[in-house]
Amino acid sequence: MTDRIYFDNAATTPLDPRVWEGMRPHLPQPWGNPSSMHREGREALAAVEAARRQVAELLGAEPGEIVFTSSGTEADNLALQGVLFAAGLRDCHAISSAIEHPAVLACCRHLQRLGVALTLLPVDSQGLVDPADLERALRPETRLVSIMAANNVTGVVQSVEELARISRRHGALFHSDAVQAFGKIPLDVRRVPLDLVSLSAHKLYGPKGVGALYVRRGVSLTPLVHGGGQEEGRRSGTENVAGIVALGAAAELARAEMAAEAARLVQIRDRLIDAIIAMVPNAYLIGDRYCRLPGHICLGLSGMECEAIKLLLELDGLGFAVSSGSACSSHHAGQPSHVLEAMGFDAPRARGSVRITLGRFNTQQEAERFLELFPRAVASLRPLGSLARAG
């Protein structure tokens, strides 16, 4: 596998060996239950609390404002259902956007069936929510606004600061799904009035199956999972100690390395975008060029939308892991992306994107290797006679 080049860091990231070193001592069984009073239990509890401080620090939060969950999906569900159940569901209005991850959108639909009035904001052709649309959609009974920090398909970063300020001014809580953004771009709850923030370890070089929700002190939340009262009653269930320790270690590394890593990835990303557009005549960038995650590229290939899956398989054969749209898309192969449709793409074009997402372990040399082979892979799929500059 070492000759493989992994450009699908938005789907999941490899475990950082330093994160593995942090979680390893917590894996052997038997190991203490953080709820136990003996030494083993107290040690496990201390490890969980240290991780809580590390995650809190990256967000500028208090440790007590972090609730560990089993995933980003659970964090999103806890935020939306937790706030709206606490508000009584009926007579509540919630606002989200048309481009959210299914963890938010499906949860919104569920809440709608339970009686919550829902508005989904549109996005423009660059994938951005217009703050004026939010301003217009807010009502006196709006309890919650949920807009993602960065999109998993396009990598487009929303101006959550402005959106959160508008929501606060209208008395609505603001949640942001920051699963793609956490540890990649700065998010500071002391400066920005974010009330709830979802995150997930496996997008930040940690393991799968552990996430967290930031809940600003004072926000009322009805738990999704009832039981032994762990996480101050907000999420019952014996803690995934090793996973939580890993998430803490991942957050600590991101805090130390985020600025330098982002600058490095932006360079490689922009080199890839410019070179691909110069070499492959029908390639175009999807989503705002500048409001985007440092390592995230989403490409369209006009006239070849139906060939996107073939192209991914061709690249896979050449040793590159890239994706179409999102990790979920393998469950919905051939279906248009709801994100691209919301950006105004027609169904054929909304089916045919290629997502290249760079991460901590990618290098400039890997990008150059990709640039050697990508135009050829595209050309190999084109009908004869339509080849232009692809070399």
Among 22, 32, 211, 295, binds ligand PLP (CB under 6 A): 211
State CA 16 to chain mean position distance. Answer: 18
Q: Check residue 264 for interaction with ligand PLP (CB under 6 A).
A: no
- Tell how many helices (H) and how many strands (E) occur in the chain: 11, 12
71 vs 362, which CB is nearer to ligand PLP? 71
Q: Which of 54, 73, 146, 329 binds ligand PLP (CB under 6 A)?
A: 73
Q: Which residue is nearest to ligand PLP (CB)?
A: 72
What is the H or E stretch that residue 380 is in?
helix 364-381
Choose between 72 and 300: whose C-beta lies nearer to ligand PLP: 72
Segment interacting with ligand PLP, rule: CB under 6 A, options 50-58, 65-73, 167-175, 214-222: 65-73
* Binding flag, residue 103, ligand PLP (CB under 6 A): yes
Q: Which is nearer to ligand PLP, 197 or 276 (by Cβ)?
A: 197
Residue 177 contacts ligand PLP per CB under 6 A? yes
Contact 295, 357 (CB under 8 A): yes
Token couple for 114: 């339970």
Select the span of 138-146, 176-184, 241-249, 295-303 touching ligand PLP (CB under 6 A): 176-184
The whole-angstrom separation of Cα 52 and Cα 59 is 11
For the bound state, the minimum distance from the C-beta of residue 180 to ligand PLP, rounded and expressed in Å, comes to 5
Question: Considering the complex, what minimum distance in angstroms separates the CB of residue 387 from ligand PLP?
Answer: 35
Tokens at 104, concatenated:
């938010």
Q: Does 179 bind ligand PLP (CB under 6 A)?
A: yes
Residue number with CB closer to ligand PLP (205 or 374)? 205
Residue 201 CB, nearest distance to ligand PLP (Å)?
8
Q: What are residue 8's DSSP bridge partners? A: 357
- The residue from 92, 291, 306, 328 that is catalytic is 328
- By CB under 6 A, tell whether 32 contacts ligand PLP: no
Beta bridge partners of 292: 156
Phi, psi dihedral angles at 298 (to 5 degrees): -125, 125
Show Cβ contacts of residue 157 under 8 Å, excluding neighbours closer than 6 positions: 149, 150, 181, 185, 291, 292, 293
Quick one: 149 or 390, whose CB is closer to ligand PLP?
Answer: 149
328 is catalytic: yes
CA nearest 99: which of 147, 167, 143?
A: 147
Contact call for residue 71 and ligand PLP (CB under 6 A) = yes
CA-to-CA distance for 292 and 287, rounded, in angstroms? 8
% helix, strand, coil for the chain, step of 5: 45, 15, 40
Q: Are 81 and 222 in contact (CB under 8 A)?
A: yes
How many binding residues for ligand PLP (CB under 6 A)? 15
The residue from 19, 107, 129, 148 that contacts ligand PLP (CB under 6 A) is: 148
User: In the bound complex, what is the minimum distance in angstroms from residue 377's beta carbon to ligand PLP?
Assistant: 25
Q: With binding defined as CB under 6 A, does residue 72 bind ligand PLP?
A: yes
* Beta carbons within 10 angstroms of residue 21's beta carbon: 11
Minimum distance, C-beta of residue 257 to ligand PLP, in the bound complex (Å): 21
Q: Is 152 in the site for ligand PLP (CB under 6 A)?
A: yes
Sheet holding 353-357, edge to edge: 283-285, 296-301, 353-357
Q: Is 98 in the site for ligand PLP (CB under 6 A)?
A: no
Quick check: helix, strand or coil at residue 136?
Answer: helix
Residue 337, Ramachandran bin (φ over 0: left; ψ between -120 and 50: alpha; else beta): beta
Q: Least distance from C-beta 360 to ligand PLP, angstroms?
A: 17
- Catalytic residues, by residue number, are 328
Binding residues for ligand PLP, rule: CB under 6 A, are 71-73, 76, 101, 103, 148, 152, 177, 179-180, 200, 202, 211, 327
